[in-house]
Structures are given as structure tokens and as C-alpha cells.
């Protein structure tokens, strides 16, 4: 059934209410109910049944029937990994590892900028998977950024900006397989495009992926120059001047903070060793699921990473690490066995908001994508009666809207790449395939980056211990500034590709770097007028 403009209502309700009320669970549920009522044509009982069924399907409880079906889970593995990670954070905190690491790092990291740059570098290094990135970086760096009064909103922004944007720029990550799969299904490597290799097209698209590249550039400049603006400026000003890292009511702050009493015998190794084991275990399981030759498969290292199952790897890597962590702290006698049930419960409570938000976000996503076909409707609104030269910009804009509305970048890839590639092939403009693919990837990353119903946005606020709507509201101006520059850049790209891909890419990036530098300097100065003098005096104490 074609729901037309009605398909836009559920995401508008969810996103609009989230910004107006700051109650993300209520907002998501309202969007789900709206979508279910549209699909069932107003039948309340049928809508209720549909909602229950969708939640059951998205949590994947039915996969618990056998080990084989369990190992084919995706959402369930992510939820269980969150629970495991919460338990591990509670264990590490109780053992004193987080405090010890914070004390050690504070001796090595002397400034507020150093704390922020260290967070950024760690985010860049953990490029294999955005979920893993979001949760690990926050767990490790919170003690350090807290010491130098970096607001939790700023921490969440740095984490989020080094998650999906880094994964889509990395030649090996959990995202690569998805993009290559879509390129292959779209005809790259066969027919008139037989001389193109899907992986090479992806690698070439990195050069044109201006949103992701400019986002990384913006994070560096904001940390280096303290160029905050918009709601983030207020969060940072309050964090520095008053020591309030949350800039929100005490109830929210207390719910987010960890209430585990640390052991005085804790050492740095109590945090570092579990994290190292976690990273190693997850990478090993990634290679195993990707059919790596050393683990009995037939693939080399690159192909194994392209074909890996990251959700499987996150869960089983987490299980191995949890067993090790429990054994390690028991041997070290930093945790009493009688404490374990209480710590498990505290870890679960710590992750409960993220679990609830993710389940509801997946549910509304299932209605938006599966039933209402919101993405397809948005694509249909974009007429094909435009010059081919503006198609990169048009696809960027369409991908941004689809991804923001549906909360999924991968879903957006699946909708738009099969449209973009054949369009370029049918017009004979093979040279535009790489810019078109890059524009879809860029727009999808922006929508995913900015959307309050995106799972990576949710996990970034969880990893940082930040109120979710605070994270969305403070990140939105930054993401949209970069997206605006990227949109103009793709307009330029469409008209300069005829001079060669290299020239078009260079012009796009140089334009982006220059304009973005001017823009956020202007926006920072505008936000800083009211409190500039006091903020600079406070920053000197830390820098």
C-alpha cells in the first residue's frame, strides 16, 4: 500500500516531540503508535498487536530457541553486548581501575585540549565498528575528560564524530562489506560496468566523502581553537565555569553517573587489560566470522574484514572478556564474589536507558522502512528532470533526509545506491559513479549523525554518559554546518568532474576546508560575545 505523505508523520512526530519535550522514550513511542495506527488504518487493537509483534521481532527473542538461530542474531547480540559492557564498567569501576587510570592519565595529559585530543585519537584508532567505538571510547576517556571539566555533551560529540565518519573512511571496517554489497547488487563489476571493481569504487569514494572528512577536520579545529558555538557553547561554558558537566537537572545527572564505590587497591592495569582483551577478542571473532584463512576459512585479511559479522563478534568477544575480567579481579581480590550480583544489576541499570531507546528506535525504524516505505517516498519526491551535473548534490540531500527520518545510514545505502549507480550508467556518465556513491554515503552519514533516533547517536550519548537529547541538540548545529558546506561542495563536484576525478575531488575538499574554517570561526564569535571574557579566563586555568 502506498501511504504517500502519511509515511512522513511517524518520524516527524518522534523527532519533533524529542526536541520539544526532551523525553526521548515518550517521543519514540508516540512515533511508533502513530505509525502503527496509519498501517492498521486506525484500528487500535490491531495497532497494539502490531507494536508488540514488532518489538518481539526486533529484540529477536525467537532466536533463543537454538544455538544456530541465536548465532544468526544481530539486534539481540547488540543488546546483550550492551548488558555485558555495563557489567564490565561496573566491575572495572568497583575494582578501582577507572580511578587509577584517571589519576595516571592526568599526570600524562596536562591540559583540557590534551584530554579532548586523546579522546579523538582513540576514536580514530578504533575504526573497525561504530558501536564498539562509541561505547569503548566513552568508557576509557570519561575519567580523563571529567578531570578537565569537558562537558559530557562535548565528549559525546567527539565520540559520535569519530564513530560512523571514521568507519566510512576506513578501508577495512564493518561498513565496508555493506557498501560493497550494495555496489555489487547495483551492477558495479558486471555489464556495462564490468571494468569497475566494487571495492575500488568504494576506495575512490573516500576521496569525495566530504561530510565525513570535514567532520573530522571540524572536530580537530574545535578542540584546537575552542571554536564552540550554539548550545554546545553553553554546555562548555557551564562545565568550565561551574564544574557542571551535564548542564541538566540533578535527576538526569544522578541517573547517568556511576554510583559504584571504587576499591583503593585499583591499578591502571585493571582498566587497560580488560579493554585490551576486549579489543583482541572482538577482532579475532571478526576474522573468524569473515572466514579468515588462519581460522579455517579461505579469505585473506582484507576479505575477512569485508565479510565479518560485527554483532556476533561484539557479543562473543564480550563474553570472553567478561569471563576474563571476573577471573582477574577475583584473583586480584579487588572484588568479593558476593558483590557480583549487585554489580551486575548496577551495570544493567547503567545501560537500561540505552537498551530502551535502541529497542524503540529499531521498532519505529521497522515501521518507517518496512511498512510505510518512508525512504522510497522521499526518493520519489526527487524528480529526475534535473541536469546530471547537480545529481551528486541532489543525492546528498535526499540521502540526508532519508537517513535523518529513518535513523539508519545502512538502510539509506540500500535505498539510494541501487538508484544512483544505474542512473549514471544509463546516461553514459560513468565518471559520475564515484561522486554519486560518495554523495549517498556522505548524506547518509549526516542523517545518521544528526538524527535522534539513530542507534549510533544513542550509543554515543550512552558511552559518554550524556543526556541523549542534550547530545542531539548540541551536535545538530555542528553536523548541519558541515552538511551545508558538503552540499555546496557536491554541487561544485558535479560541474568539475568533466575535468577529471582528481581535480574535482581537490576542488571540493579545498573549498570545504576554507569555507568551514571561516564559518565556524564566525559562529563561535557570535556565540561567545556574551561570556567570552569569563570563558577565556577559565580556559587559561586548564590550558
Q: Which of 165, 188, 240, 217 lies closest to 460, judged by CA?
A: 165
Cα separation, 401 vs 381, in Å, equals 11
Among 183-197, 367-381, 492-506, 520-534, top mean pLDDT goes to 492-506
Neighbours of 541 (CB within 10 A): 10
pLDDT digits (tens, 9 = 90+) for 235-270: 888 888 888 888 765 444 444 445 567 667 778 888
* The predicted structure's pLDDT at residue 254: 43
Banded model confidence at residue 393, pLDDT cuts 50, 70, 90: very high
pTM confidence score:
0.76
Instruction: Give the alpha-carbon dihedral of 453, 214, 418, 375, to 10 degrees.
Output: 30
Contact present, 180 and 306 (Cβ < 8 Å): yes
Helix %, strand %, coil % of the chain (to 5): 80, 0, 20
Residue 534 has pLDDT above 70, yes or no: no
Q: Which of 216, 361, 385, 383 lies closest to 397, judged by CA?
A: 383
* The predicted structure's pLDDT at residue 391: 87
DSSP state of 193: G
Residue 153 has pLDDT above 80, yes or no: yes
Residue 71, judged by CB atoms within 10 A of its CB (0-12, 13-18, 19+), counts as middle
Residue 502, judged by CB atoms within 10 A of its CB (0-12, 13-18, 19+), counts as exposed
How far does CA 350 lie from the centroid of its chain? Answer: 19
pLDDT digits (tens, 9 = 90+) for 339-370: 888 888 888 887 787 788 778 877 887 887 77
Residue 333, judged by CB atoms within 10 A of its CB (0-12, 13-18, 19+), counts as exposed
Give the mean model confidence (pLDDT) for residues 171-186: 72
Q: Who has greater pLDDT, 425 or 435?
A: 435
Residue 2 has pLDDT above 60, yes or no: yes
Banded model confidence at residue 107, pLDDT cuts 50, 70, 90: confident
Q: Who has greater pLDDT, 313 or 443?
A: 443
> What mean pLDDT, rounded, does the chain reach?
82
Which residues neighbour 524 within 8 Å (Cβ) at sequence distance 6 or greater? 225, 226, 227, 228, 229, 233
Q: Which of 316, 327, 271, 328 lies closest to 144, judged by CA?
A: 271
Which residues neighbour 252 within 8 Å (Cβ) at sequence distance 6 or greater? 246, 467
The distance between the two most distant Cα atoms of the chain, rounded to a whole number of Å, is 71
* The predicted structure's pLDDT at residue 540: 63
Strand partners, 299: 292
Banded model confidence at residue 218, pLDDT cuts 50, 70, 90: very high
The grid coordinates of residue 186 equal 547495483
pLDDT digits (tens, 9 = 90+) for 439-487: 999 999 999 888 888 878 888 888 888 888 899 999 999 999 999 999 9
Which residues neighbour 103 within 8 Å (Cβ) at sequence distance 6 or greater? none
DSSP 3-state of 460: helix
Banded model confidence at residue 158, pLDDT cuts 50, 70, 90: very high
Cα separation, 127 vs 40, in Å, equals 42
* The predicted structure's pLDDT at residue 541: 61
Residue 171 has pLDDT above 50, yes or no: yes
* The predicted structure's pLDDT at residue 256: 44
DSSP state of 248: S
Q: Among 126-130, 164-168, 424-428, which stretch is predicted with the lowest mean pLDDT?
A: 126-130
DSSP state of 261: P
Cα separation, 320 vs 249, in Å, equals 38
* The predicted structure's pLDDT at residue 375: 65
pLDDT digits (tens, 9 = 90+) for 483-525: 999 999 999 998 998 888 889 889 999 999 999 999 888 887 7
The grid coordinates of residue 75 equal 539486534
The grid coordinates of residue 278 equal 576486549
Banded model confidence at residue 172, pLDDT cuts 50, 70, 90: low
Please report, rounded to a whole number, the percentage of residues in the chain having pLDDT higher than 90: 18
CA atoms within 13 A on the CB side of 275: 22
pLDDT digits (tens, 9 = 90+) for 202-217: 888 999 999 999 999 9
Cα separation, 396 vs 384, in Å, equals 14
Contact present, 527 and 233 (Cβ < 8 Å): yes
CA-based radius of gyration for the chain = 23
Cα separation, 404 vs 272, in Å, equals 36
Whole-angstrom CA distances from 193 to 200, 389, 433 are 12, 20, 10
pLDDT digits (tens, 9 = 90+) for 28-87: 888 889 989 999 888 889 989 999 988 888 887 777 777 777 777 777 887 888 788 788
Say what angle helices 433-450 and 501-528 make with each other, to 10 degrees: 20
Strand partners, 292: 299
DSSP 3-state of 213: helix
Amino acid at each position: 500500500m502506498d501511504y504517500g505523505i502519511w509515511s512522513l508523520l511517524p518520524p516527524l512526530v518522534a523527532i519533533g516531540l524529542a526536541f520539544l519535550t526532551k523525553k526521548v522514550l515518550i517521543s519514540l513511542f508516540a512515533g511508533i503508535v502513530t505509525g502503527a495506527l496509519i498501517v492498521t488504518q486506525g484500528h487500535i487493537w490491531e495497532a497494539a498487536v502490531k507494536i508488540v509483534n514488532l518489538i518481539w521481532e526486533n529484540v529477536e527473542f525467537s532466536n533463543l530457541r537454538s544455538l544456530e538461530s541465536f548465532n544468526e542474531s544481530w539486534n539481540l547480540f547488540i543488546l546483550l553486548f550492551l548488558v555485558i559492557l555495563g557489567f564490565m564498567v561496573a566491575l572495572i569501576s568497583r575494582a578501582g581501575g577507572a580511578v587509577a587510570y584517571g589519576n595516571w592519565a592526568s599526570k600524562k595529559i596536562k591540559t583540557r585540549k590534551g584530554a579532548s585530543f586523546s579522546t579523538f585519537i582513540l576514536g580514530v584508532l578504533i575504526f573497525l565498528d561504530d558501536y564498539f567505538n562509541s561505547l569503548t571510547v566513552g568508557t576509557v576517556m570519561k575519567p580523563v575528560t571529567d578531570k578537565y571539566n569537558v562537558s559530557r555533551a562535548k565528549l559525546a560529540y567527539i565520540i559520535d564524530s569519530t564513530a560512523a565518519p571514521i568507519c566510512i573512511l576506513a578501508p577495512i571496517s564493518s561498513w565496508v562489506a555493506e557498501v560493497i554489497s550494495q555496489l555489487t547488487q547495483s551492477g558495479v563489476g558486471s555489464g556495462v560496468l564490468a571494468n569497475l571493481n566494487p571495492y575500488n569504487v568504494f576506495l575512490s569514494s573516500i576521496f569525495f566523502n566530504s561530510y565525513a572528512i570535514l567532520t573530522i577536520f571540524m572536530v580537530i579545529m574545535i578542540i584546537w581553537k575552542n571554536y564552540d558555538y550554539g548550545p554546545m557553547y553553553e554546555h562548555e561554558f557551564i562545565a568550565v565555569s561551574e564544574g557542571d558537566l551535564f548542564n541538566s537537572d540533578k535527576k538526569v545527572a544522578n541517573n547517568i553517573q556511576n554510583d559504584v564505590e571504587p576499591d583503593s587497591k585499583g591499578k591502571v592495569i585493571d582498566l587497560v587489560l580488560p579493554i585490551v582483551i576486549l579489543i583482541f577478542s572482538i577482532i579475532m571473532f571478526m576474522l573468524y566470522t569473515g572466514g579468515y584463512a588462519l581460522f579455517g576459512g579461505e579469505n585473506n585479511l582484507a576479505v575477512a574484514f569485508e565479510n565479518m559479522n560485527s554483532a556476533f563478534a561484539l557479543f562473543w568477544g564480550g563474553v570472553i572478556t567478561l569471563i576474563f575480567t571476573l577471573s582477574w579481579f577475583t584473583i586480584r581480590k579487588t572484588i568479593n564474589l558476593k558483590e557480583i550480583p549487585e554489580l551486575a544489576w548496577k551495570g544493567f541499570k547503567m545501560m537500561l536507558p540505552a537498551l530502551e531507546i535502541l529497542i524503540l528506535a529499531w521498532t519505529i525504524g521497522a515501521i518507517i522502512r518496512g511498512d510505510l516505505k518512508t525512504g522510497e517516498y522521499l526518493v520519489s519526491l526527487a524528480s529526475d528532470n534535473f541536469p546530471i551535473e547537480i545529481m551528486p548534490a541532489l543525492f546528498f540531500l535526499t540521502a540526508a533526509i532519508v537517513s535523518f527520518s529513518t535513523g539508519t545510514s545502512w538502510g539509506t545505502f540500500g535505498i539510494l545506491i541501487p538508484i544512483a549507480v544505474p542512473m549514471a550508467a544509463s546516461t553514459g556518465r560513468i565518471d559520475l559513479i564515484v561522486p554519486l556513491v560518495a554523495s549517498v554515503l556522505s548524506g547518509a552519514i549526516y542523517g545518521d549523525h544528526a538524527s535522534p533516533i539513530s542507534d549510533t547517536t544513542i550509543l554515543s550519548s550512552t558511552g559518554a554518559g550524556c543526556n541523549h537529547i542534550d547530545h542531539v541538540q548540541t551536535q545538530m548545529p555542528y553536523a548541519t554546518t558541515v552538511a551545508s558546506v558538503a552540499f555546496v561542495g557536491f554541487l561544485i563536484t558535479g560541474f568539475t568532474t568533466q575535468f577529471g576525478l582528481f581535480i574535482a575531488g581537490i576542488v571540493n575538499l579545498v573549498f570545504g576546508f576554507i569555507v568551514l574554517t571561516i564559518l565556524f570561526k564566525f559562529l563561535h564569535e557570535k556565540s561567545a560575545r556574551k561570556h567570552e571574557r569569563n570563558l577565556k579566563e577559565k580556559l587559561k586555568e586548564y590550558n
